[in-house]
Amino acid sequence: MSWEVPLDWLLQHGWKILLVAGICAVVYFILRHTIPRLLSRTVPVRMKGVAESEIQERVETLSRALTGISLGVITIIGVFTILSEVGVNMGAALAGLGVIGIAVALGTQSLIKDLLAGFFILIENQFTIGDWVKIGGVEGLVEEINLRRTVLRAFDGSVHSVPNSEVRIATNFTKDWSRVNMSISVGYGEDMDYVFQVINRVGNEMSKESYWKPLIITPPQALRIDEFGDSGINIRILGDTHAMRQWEVMGELRKRLKKTFDAEGIEIPWPHIKLYYGNTPSGQPVEMEPPKVRVVTTPEVAEQPHIEVIGDSGGEGQ
């Protein structure tokens, strides 16, 4: 076998192919480093007054998306250029691809919907990397966004990949800021005005401490009596925090309220039942000792043990 023909072909076309591949790689490398820098300068101008963390998340989201799009465009251009260099008739190839493209488009309508939905998600800034969202029926931390899909990390560590066309309603729990929204129950016998004062005092004290002050925008405060529950009165508590900090603040607030309520003698109720008898004075509840019971087995029905309740007088009844 003669090596002259392959060698001549490589000398004539090989270096051009390598040049095209090298140029594509260099262009992608430049864009990968240039796009984030440009966005870091332009995005803050358009998002004046927004928290720095929100700006950084927006920059990171757009950087990843635009870098991925750039890679796809560069790859397509590089492949067509190389095919043209190796002698492929690009006119006929494009005509054939056009016919194939129609057939593929009919079968990939969902993919086109994903791309269009992803485009509008990025343009409208519905959510960014680092936000906690609920989309497509699942909830989690946004780890990746591109034109086709959004990747969420759930609280238990599981990863959900949601096609963008499935995002009918996007709920963003951490857009710009977050809210403490919790309910706490106290006993019916408590003075509500005093309970409100205690809750507000705990929220104000917490918001002034060195660790919590940078996280809390508005101190958690008692808003209203939310509901008369079966065992107690539910009180709604609201407050504003910086994004993603509401759960940490609510956890600490619950712990402090429990300690303060114990110290102040404020009852936190639990489900229980009080029995009232109509023949008791003033309808007062009667506290009863639990009945004494024993399990017995009679010879006649040895295979079926039964319970006997022992009364106060010592008599027995079945």
pLDDT of 103 > 60? The answer is no
Residue 315 has pLDDT above 60, yes or no: no
**CA-CA-CA-CA dihedral for 246, 249, 255, 257, to nearest 10:** -90
pTM for this entry = 0.60
Q: Residue 231 is encoded by which pair of tokens?
A: 């065992």
8 Å CB contact between 154 and 194: no
CATH number given to 4-107 = 1.10.287
Fold of domain 177-264: Alpha-Beta Plaits (3.30.70)
Query: What is the token pair recorded at 89?
Result: 């008739």
- Could you give the CA distance from residue 236 to residue 205 in angstroms, rounded to a whole number? 19
Work out the burial of residue 141: count CB atoms within 10 Å of its CB; fewer than 13 is exposed, 13-18 middle, 19 or more buried: middle
In this predicted structure, the answer to whether residue 116 has a pLDDT above a threshold of 80 is yes
Cα separation, 168 vs 138, in Å, equals 12
Confidence label for 284 from pLDDT (cuts 50, 70 and 90): low
Return the minimum-mean-pLDDT range out of 47-56, 95-104, 146-155, 193-202: 95-104
In the chain, CATH 1.10.287 sits at: 4-107
Q: What does the DSSP 8-state code read for residue 280? A: S
Per-residue confidence (pLDDT) for residue 120, from 0 to 100: 87
Place of tokens 């709920």: 171
Per-residue pLDDT at 316: 43
SS3 at position 239? strand
What stretch(es) of the chain map to CATH 3.30.70.100? 177-264
pLDDT of residue 66: 84
Q: What three-state secondary structure class fits 156?
A: coil
Per-residue confidence (pLDDT) for residue 302, from 0 to 100: 47
DSSP designation for 14: I
- Distance (Å, rounded) from C-alpha 199 to C-alpha 192? 10
Q: How confident is the model at residue 4 (pLDDT cuts 50, 70, 90)?
A: low
Handedness of CA 188, 265, 268, 272 (dihedral sign): negative
